Structure formats: C-alpha cells, structure tokens
Structure 1
Amino acid sequence: MKSSFFSILQRIGHAFMLPIALLPVAGLLLGIGASFTNATTIDSYGLQPLLGDGTILHALLTVMKSAGSVVFSNLPILFAVGVAMGMANKEKQVAAIAGAVGFFAMHATISAMLELNGLLAPDALPEGSLGMSVGINSLQMGVFGGVLVGLGVAALHNRFYRIELPTTFSFFGGTRFVPIITALSYMFIGILMFYIWPSLQEGIMHLGALVNRTGYAGTFIYGFIERALIPFGLHHVFYIPFWQTALGGSEIIDGISVSGAQNIFFAELASPNTQQFSVEATRFMAGKFPFYLFGIPGAALAIYHCARPEQRKLVLGLLLSATLTAVLTGITEPIEFSFLFAAPVLYVLHCVLAGLSFMLCHLFDVGVGQTFSGSLIDFILFGVLQGNPKTHWINAILIGIPLFPVYYFSFRFLILRFNFKTPGREDEGQETKLYTRQDVNAAKAQAQKGDQVSNLIVAGLGGSSNISHVDCCATRLRITVINENLVDDEMLKSSGARGVIRRGTGIQVIYGPHVTLIKSNLDDCLHNAV
C-alpha cells in the first residue's frame, strides 16, 4: 500500500510539471511587459520617449504583458488538462480533451446550483468565495479545482479508454467514451462540490492562517521540507498548494480575490497600483535566491578544494557546469546529488541552511517572486527590475553573501573531518562524474549502437514485462514496476545513472538534465520489445 502510494505521488508530481512548464515563458512575458510598461519604472529611468504611451515598444510590451497574464489567469483549467494528460497511461490526447470537458461541466454545474439557490447575488456569500473560471461564475476553487478534475479524469480515462459497448452503441466505445463519462461524472461532482467546497474552503483558509500565525518559524519549516523532498521527487506535491491555492494566502487585488502565493505575486506584478509586493506571499518563493545564487556556489567551491590535487582539473569543469546550471536555470539537482549520495549529512545541512534562507528573506521583507525556480533570470526580472522599494531585492543579496562562506566552511569541514567521498575524493577505480554535455553525446552515441543504455535500463528494471509505467522529470526517470525485487541497482548505475531511489514499486533513476533523451530512447526500446 505504501509503495503504491509513493508511485502515485511521484506520477502526480510529474503531472504537475506539465502546466508548470508553461510558467517560465509566461513569467518572462509578464515580467518584462509589466516592468517596462509600469509608469513608475518609466519615470524613474527617464524612458518616456522610448517606452511611454503611444510608442511602438510600449504597445509591444503591453501585448507581452497580456500574453503572460492570461496564462496565470487560467491556471486551473491548464492544471485540469495537464494533470489528466500526465496521469493517463495511454491515449494522452484524449485525456487532455476530457480534462477540459470535466472542468467546464463541473463549474457550469456549480454556477447553475448557485443561481438556483440565489447565491450569485452580491454579499450572498463571504468575500472571495466566488470567482470567474473561463467565463463561468463559480465557486473560487482555484488550482485545487483543476487538480481535482485532472486526477478524476485520469482515473476515468485509464478505466474506460478501451471499453467495448454493445454493437448498437459501439461508435461511442473506446476513447470516445471517455469525454462522455467525464461530462456525466463531473455534473454530479459539481453538485457535490457545491455542498462540500465551502467547508473545505474554510478549512483551507484556517490552515493557511495557521501557517501564517507560525510566522518566521513556519517559513523555516516550509523551506526545510521543500528542500528535503527533492531526493524523493515529491517537492512539487508539497509546494504547489502554497503557490496556487489559498493555503499560500488570499488577497484582494484591484477588486479581485486572488489565492495562492504565486498567483498573488503575479497579480500584483500586473497591477499598476502595486507599491510593494506582498511578503506574506513571496515568503514561499524568495528564500530560494540567496542559497541558489550564493550557497550552492560556496558548496561547490568546498567540494573542489577537498578534491585530490590530481583530480581538481576534472572536478573544476564538472562543478562549474553544474553550478552555472543551478545559478542560471535554477536546476540544482546535478550539484545537490553530487553530495547527496556521497554524504547525506551534507544534504541535511543543506536543508537546514535552505530553511534559514527562507526565514531570513521573510524576516527582512524580501518580496521577490519567481516562475519555476530561483534562478538569476527570475531574480533580475522579478527583483532588480521591479525596484528595491517594491521588492527589497538588495536584502536578498545581503542574506546571500554570508551564506557563501557558511556553505563553504561547513561543507569543507565535514568533508575533510568524515572523509566523505565527494567528487574528486572517490576510491581508486571509481569515476569522478557529474552531468555534462559529454553525457548527452555519449548517450547519443550509444543510441546509435543499438541503444545499450536502454537495454541496460530495461534489464536493470527486471525486463520489459516488469515495467508498468515510465515517465521523467528534469533529471530522473520515474518508473513504476510490478515486482520491485527484480530491480538491480548496480545494473542501473552501470547505464550511467548517478543514483537509484526506491520506494516499493516506485523507482527513480537519476541521470541529469539529459534524461529526456534517455526516456525517449527507452520508450522506443520498450515499444520495439512489445
């Protein structure tokens, strides 16, 4: 039961990444557009002749702002479609359409129930209870509503996409039956949610209030847990509710109720009336910047200085690549996994320092938000360009500067004191390795030679007949197997994996940013084996 639950959670975590993958681009459009159409920014930097009303650039930036804003305004339906597609076993495009159908059916039903009971009138419900969902006046369910639809539709899809109906109705069988059963099911779910969602909404608000009441200690715990879940691939499941639902707070912005820390930040970003970004919202995001931009480079430098002299040249190239990836893109797993498996104690320390970073950013009113990760790009767009009075981005730098020596000296002391086998300190015969472009080229070369990597992975997982489901995230394969006892960790590592994480039938094999290429080759290998 426990292993099955983990397998489901890791698939849900990856399914969340489908709609989340839209956010960096949408955030860039909204960030750039909102920054350079903001009247205060234009006046402060004397950009009126270039960016003022009536100029071509102002028109282009306004369009960019609108294009980015519409994504954040419609995240619930994007989650409904994305989660349904991500959780579907096969025929994913049908699940995506059914996700949209389910979302429409549920909210249209709720809207009808509200109208029948006279609850659409002003002041009939507490402020913030209602909201527009793709043009439908319904209960404000936010991304929770989208996830509810996505998970339910995926379950219906996986159950019915191969259904055979009697000859008279055979046209409506198979994949055509999925949107039909979805529409009918979510009509009844809409009725059910009309009665139970207000109570759930109240409970969510109380939980969010509890987190807020814990103040800085609560922010520390949030940051610690978010980082601690990285090795299990379940961090998305943890932080998304804070970012996208009332668990992360609710505010009225320009007369509209907005729930979720990230949604609040981007609504404030799009608003011309924002004087200062809500720190109560950005407390769930801003803490990443100091340890991403300063702490992780400090840890990398410590690992480099602790490497054996003859290995330092090789380690420098590997660590430099991984550190630049973390700083510029916010993908920290390559550098984190370099010490996670060699020295778990270092990772525990890393989680504590990450929690401290979140807490200090909250304490010093850092109001910098983010799209997907705490990268340098996000920091410039949503911190520096918004101005220090609105974001206090300088405080993030002041927090980050001392984090660099803290990471460096603590990591160096522990590595040397306990002789941890970090890169460059491996025993004789072990390879010093992180994730580089050479890994991608090697994987391509192996694919051209009969895809030896895929064959090793299949064999290490107990054969194609033992593989139930294959997916991937930014750096790892996420696999569900039938019999976990058939999985051979050493054979999987011989395929180039940095590590293997087991939770019953849920298996995660860590490769690095080139994992999507490995998954594509593995899919082809499994398809050919059928």
Structure 2
Amino acid sequence: MMQKIQKFGGAMFTPVLLFAFAGIIIGIGTLFTTEVVFGPLAAPDTAWFKCWNVLLEGGWTVFRQLPLLFAVSLPIGLAKKQNARCCMEALVLYLTFNYFMAAILSGWGTLLGIDYTAEVGGTSGLTMIANIKTLDMGMIGALMISGLVIYLHNRFFDTELPEWLGVFSGSTFVFMLGFFVMIPVAILSVFIWPKIQMGMFLFQGFVLNAGVIGVGIFVFLERILIPFGLHHLLYSPFYYDNIVVQGGIYAYWAQQLPTIAASTTNLRELAPYAAYTATGWSKIFGCPGIALAFYFTAKPDKKKQLLALLIPITLTAVLCGVTEPIEFTFLFIAPALFAVHALLSSILAMTMYLLGIVGIYSGGAIEMASLNWIPLAPTHGMQYLIMLAVGLCFTAIWFFVFRFLILKFDFKTPGREDEVEDVKFYSKQEYRDTKQGGEEKGITSPQSERSQLAIRVLEALGGKDNIVDVTNCVTRLRVNVVDESLVATDAVFKSLGTHGAACNGKSIQVIIGLSVPKLRDEFEKLL
C-alpha cells in the first residue's frame, strides 16, 4: 500500500512542476498592472495595462484549469502502458463525468438541495470546468476520475476483441467502459459530495480559527511527512483546492494581490488564509544554517569536497524551494536531526505568523519575490525587513542547534563519515572507465556521464530484473523493486554521485536532484 501511495504522490507532482513558472508570471504581471506601484501608467484603460494583462492572463492558465490539469497529468506517472493515450482517455472521460453531473443537476438539482441556477463560486458548490457548469469537486474529483480511468486503462487497454470489432479496441474500448462507469459515479457524486462540501466549510472555519497553533501543526506535519513522500497529499488540497479558500490559497492570493498591494494594513489581517503556506521559511533560512553546521563539523580533510556538495544543494533549497537534496543528506543518517528540523520549521512559521507576515511562502526565494516582495514592497516593505531580521536569527539558531547535536551525538553527517562510507564523486574519466563493465553485464550505454550514472544506479538497485517500475518526482527517482535485499546501502548510492537513497521496503527513492527527469529517461532506456 505504501508503494502505491508514494507512487501516487510522485505522479501528483507532475502538474505541480508548472506552478513555479506560472506563479512567477502572475507575480510579474500583477506587479506591472498595480496602480499603487506604477500609478496612472497602470490604469485599466492604458496600453501599458493592456499589454501586461495579456501576459497576466496567460499566467492564469494553469491555476484556472487545475482540475483539468490534474486529471490529464496523473496518467503520466501511473499508467503502465501507452501513457499518452491514457491521458486522452482521462480527459474525455473527465469531461463526460462533468456533463453527466450537469445534466443530473439541471433535471433534479432542487430535489437534491442544490440550486443549479445559482452563480458559480462562493457557497453555491458549483463551478465551471471547460465551459461545463457542474458540481465543484475540485482537484479531488479530478483525481478520483483520473484514477478510475487509469485502472480501466491498465486492465483493459490490451483486451483482444474479435477482428470484426477491432475498431473498438484500445482507447476506444477503455472509453466505452468508462462511459458507462461514469454514470453511477456521477449519480453517487451529486448525492455525496454536497455533504462533503459542508464538511469542508466547517473544516475551513476550524483551520482559520486555529490561529498560531494551527499554523505550527500544519508546517510540522508537512516537513515530517517528507521521508514517506506523503507531504504533497497534505498541502495540495490547501494550496490548490477549496479547503481554505475558493480555488486554493495560491490562486486566491494571486487574485487578491492588487487589493493587498493597495493597502498598508497588516498582511495577516488582509489575508489570514495565507498563513498555511509558511512551509518555505525553513527552506530559505533553515537550510543555510544546516549547511553551515555540516561544514563546520566536517573533518578538515573533507571540507573542500563537502563545500562542492553543499553550495549547489543549498542554493537549490533557497532559490527554488527544493529541499530534498540537502534534507536527504542527513535524514536517514540522523533522523533525530530531521525531527528537530521539522520542529524548528514549525516554530519559525509560528513566529512569522505572530509578526503578521503571511503570503505565498511555500517555495523558494524566486517564487517568494515574485508573489510577495516585489509587488508588495512599496506598502509592506517594513514587514519584510522584520522578516529578514527574524529569518537570519533563525539561521543562526539552526546552525548552533545542529552543530551542538552533531558533535554531542557524533552523527555521521556529510563530511563526518567513516572511511568505509566516504562520499566519493566520480570524475568523467572514472565514469568512462566503467563502460566496459556495464557492457559485460549486457547493458549498452551512450558515452555520457548521465548514462553512466544510470548504469551505476541500476546496478545498485539489483539490476534490471529487480525493477518493477520507475517514476520520478521533482528530485527523486522512485523505484519499486522485486527484492529489497539486492539494493545497495545509502553510502553506496552516495558513492555513485547521487545524494543518497531512502528505502522503505520494496519502495526505493534515489535522490538525484533537479536533473532526475533526464536520468529517468536514461534509466528507462536500460530497462
């Protein structure tokens, strides 16, 4: 079950990768169309506004079509064959499902307690998806339908039909089955989902009234679930669905940016809902403190080598908000340190909340600047100066706490490993020298570092006969294996040039970094 959950979490991340760029475009477009910043030049009737508004509207594409995007993207990671065809099947059956619901609500909405004539949004429980007025099931509905389609596709796509019925095979057969499956699913949805919506509204009230404790608990859980690959499932409904505000915190914040930019009122009073994206504070302030602690506790002869590792993975965390490369360097070596890291992340988030500093702070500095600091600096600059001072104080706290714990308990963090576990980074020549060994095992490989790394990772995973399937998230190669006893240790994976590996039964996560999609391509060629 854990393997399936982790694989689902990785597949969920496919569309999320688009959010960073879309968020930057929205931030820039909002900045240049805000009158409080550019004055009369940014008035709605000016050529300046109209030109920047074109860019802004394009940036909204991803956030306005989130359910559709998730429905189409899930098969990329979960379909076992013909992924592209499964994406098409998911799209057409998701639209079919919504047309069924629209017809049911139009004919029997009043009997179900739903006013189908009401405007979409708000408390109506209705929305528009691809110009279909339907029940607002958000991302959850899209994932549910896409999951059903993936199941049908994996099981029935290769069904052999008589030759005279060959035109109905493949995707057409999956669509035919799915068409009739969607009818009872739509009927059940219009009966059950309105009750769930009511529960969501009650939960929204609870979350908004939980105050600083609620923020702390949320951020702690988001960090502590990272080893299991389940953190996406925690924050995604908050950020991209209707749990807290209509359309998700990301989309709602972007919509409200002009109003927020025009006011000098405390940010927490203007947007209390945005407090739950505080998971990024530890990325830009905590990770540098951790990196400094690693460097100053490393063995003298390993500091130079360690610095070459720490600089890129720390910049990745600070600028891009991708923390797995640095967190996985110590997560399974010293899990107690990771628990402390999660606790400090929670305390920092609560501190920022108490100071009234809220906004879109789940990513890295690039995203934070585009959605917060740049458009809001003229009216909220003083709060951001306070934020910087507090954040740097917490960087020092992370450094001293980690340094103390590493030395106190002699944790084998990077640069402190025993010689047998020494982290080695191979040169180009060393990669080339391994080519012949790979060919002797029946594996042919191109003359590239990435190809050679893929060969080494495959061998460390027990060879191609030990691989069940492979997917990836933003930084990790996620592999399910036949026999976990054939998988090498974390130290071996580090010696290959990766950031290590996390093993949970037959589910293995090899931490590669942001180049993991390209490595996966090479890996799949070997399979």
* Alignment-derived partner of residue 376 in structure 1: 365
One-letter code of the match for 2:373? V
Structure 1 residue 342 displacement after superposition: 3.0
Contact kept, 8 Å, 1:101 with 1:182, in 2: the verdict is no
Q: How does 1:53-452 map to 2 (within 5 A)?
A: 57-117=48-108, 118=110, 119-122=115-118, 127-247=123-243, 249-250=244-245, 258-269=246-257, 275=263, 279-289=271-281, 291-369=282-360, 373-388=362-377, 389=379, 392-432=383-423, 447-448=445-446, 451-452=451-452
One-letter code of the match for 1:26? A
CA distance in 2, matches of 1:515, 1:426: 25
CA distance in 2, matches of 1:125, 1:74: 14
Worse-matched range after superposition: 471-480 or 178-187: 178-187
CA distance in 1, matches of 2:29, 2:430: 38
One-letter code of the match for 1:319? L
Tell me: CA distance 1:510–1:212, structure 2 relative to 1, closer, same or farther (3 Å): same
One-letter code of the match for 1:261? I
After superposition, give the CA deviation of every residue in 1:131-189 in whole Å (9 maximum; x if it has no partner).
Answer: 11221111111111211122111111111111112333221112332233223322331
Contact kept, 8 Å, 1:30 with 1:68, in 2: the verdict is yes
Tell me: CA distance 1:74–1:126, structure 2 relative to 1, closer, same or farther (3 Å): closer
Q: Per the alignment, in what secondary structure is the counterpart of residue 375 of structure 2?
A: coil
CA distance in 2, matches of 1:229, 1:126: 32
Tell me: CA distance 1:65–1:449, structure 2 relative to 1, closer, same or farther (3 Å): closer
Worse-matched range after superposition: 323-332 or 513-522: 513-522
One-letter code of the match for 2:467? I
- TM-score by length of structure 2 reads 0.87
* Alignment-derived partner of residue 253 in structure 1: none
Tell me: CA distance 1:40–1:235, structure 2 relative to 1, closer, same or farther (3 Å): same
Q: How does 1:430-509 map to 2 (within 5 A)?
A: 430-432=421-423, 447-448=445-446, 451-489=451-489, 495-509=496-510
One-letter code of the match for 1:266? A
Tell me: CA distance 1:431–1:110, structure 2 relative to 1, closer, same or farther (3 Å): same
Tell me, which stretches of 5 or more residues in structure 2 are unaligned? Answer: 436-444
CA distance in 2, matches of 1:272, 1:137: 30
Contact kept, 8 Å, 1:262 with 1:281, in 2: the verdict is no
One-letter code of the match for 2:146? G
Contact kept, 8 Å, 1:423 with 1:433, in 2: the verdict is no
Contact kept, 8 Å, 2:222 with 2:279, in 1: the verdict is no
After superposition, give the CA deviation of every residue in 1:299-342 in whole Å (9 maximum; x if it has no partner).
Answer: 21121111222322222232122211211111112221222233
Structure 1 residue 25 displacement after superposition: 1.6
1:515 paired with 2:507, answer no
CA distance in 1, matches of 2:280, 2:165: 55
CA distance in 2, matches of 1:415, 1:161: 53
Worse-matched range after superposition: 24-33 or 503-512: 503-512
After superposition, give the CA deviation of every residue in 1:317-368 in whole Å (9 maximum; x if it has no partner).
Answer: 3212221121111111222122223322211111101111222232222232
Contact kept, 8 Å, 1:262 with 1:369, in 2: the verdict is yes
Tell me: CA distance 1:357–1:128, structure 2 relative to 1, closer, same or farther (3 Å): farther
Structure 1 residue 494 displacement after superposition: 5.5
After superposition, give the CA deviation of every residue in 1:363-385 in whole Å (9 maximum; x if it has no partner).
Answer: 22223215xx5211112111112
Contact kept, 8 Å, 2:434 with 2:452, in 1: the verdict is no
Worse-matched range after superposition: 455-464 or 234-243: 455-464
Structure 1 residue 478 displacement after superposition: 0.6
Contact kept, 8 Å, 2:79 with 2:154, in 1: the verdict is yes
Tell me, which stretches of 5 or more residues in structure 1 are unaligned? Answer: 251-257
Structure 1 residue 287 displacement after superposition: 4.2
CA distance in 1, matches of 2:187, 2:396: 57
After superposition, give the CA deviation of every residue in 1:452-510 in whole Å (9 maximum; x if it has no partner).
Answer: 54444444434433322111122221112234344444765664444332333322122
Tell me: CA distance 1:274–1:245, structure 2 relative to 1, closer, same or farther (3 Å): farther
CA distance in 2, matches of 1:101, 1:52: 41
CA distance in 2, matches of 1:124, 1:500: 46
- The CA RMSD over aligned residues, in Å, is 3.0
Contact kept, 8 Å, 2:456 with 2:496, in 1: the verdict is yes
Structure 1 residue 444 displacement after superposition: 12
Tell me: CA distance 1:108–1:6, structure 2 relative to 1, closer, same or farther (3 Å): same
After superposition, give the CA deviation of every residue in 1:235-260 in whole Å (9 maximum; x if it has no partner).
Answer: 1122111112232x12xxxxxxx242
Tell me: CA distance 1:443–1:201, structure 2 relative to 1, closer, same or farther (3 Å): farther
Q: Per the alignment, in what secondary structure is the counterpart of residue 366 of structure 1?
A: coil
* Alignment-derived partner of residue 440 in structure 2: none
Aligned length: 504
Contact kept, 8 Å, 1:367 with 1:383, in 2: the verdict is no
One-letter code of the match for 2:477? L
CA distance in 2, matches of 1:238, 1:439: 41
Worse-matched range after superposition: 148-157 or 379-388: 379-388
Structure 1 residue 222 displacement after superposition: 0.9
